[in-house]
Amino acid sequence: MSFKKSFSSSGEEEEEEDDPMTMAETKDALAAFHKRKDTCMRSAILPRMSLSCSTLRYLATGRSYEDLKFSVAISPQALGRIIPETCEVIWKVLRKEYMKFPHSKEEWCQIGQDFEEMWQFPNCLGAVDGKHVAIVPPPNSGSFFYSYKGFHSMVLMAVVSANYEFILCDFGTHGRISDGGVIENTFGRS
């Protein structure tokens, strides 16, 4: 069963033509990347545990590894390896499906046409926005991450199409950098 269903006028369920990956397909794709081996000391943590129990819970709640260890029964040291690895695997597996950057003139023209038809906003190729994400700064970083908003942060910047589909996403610019600098850092990279 897929994440998205559309309903016809007769009330029957119909699969959408451009159907995203199902949860089972996502888990299978992640499991292919994320294989662990049992050792004589311990059994390997299953991909299902690293995805659903630890990583998704961590991303959804923002709880610390120390706090999370009680609900998932995995040590904070193991969580410190599993969660970043699983996030990287999620990115590698899902970015081609959900973060389609236009590569041809026709694709860019379609985005521009969608903005004009849906939002009466001609000559637009994407909506850009950024968000300062609060962080605990690294030791001895001084004001390197301190933003004008009054806290330490890193900037998440995204560009979306007229259909709310992500075209580009970037995270990592230091909070002290101005909006223009963030755009230059995001779009100036090759």
d(CA 129, CA 170): 11
d(CA 117, CA 162): 9
pLDDT at 146: 94
pLDDT at 17: 43
d(CA 88, CA 92): 6
Domain ranges of the chain: 20-98, 105-187
Radius of gyration from C-alpha coordinates of the chain: 21
pLDDT at 147: 92
pLDDT at 4: 34
CB 90 within 8 A of CB 31: no
Helical residues (DSSP H) of 10-98, grouped into ranges: 23-33, 47-48, 56-61, 65-72, 76-98
pTM (two decimals): 0.63
Q: Which residues of the chain have pLDDT under 70?
A: 1-39, 41-53, 189-190
Q: Would you state the torsion angle of the CA atoms of residues 185, 131, 81, 21, taken in this order, to the nearest 10 degrees?
A: -100
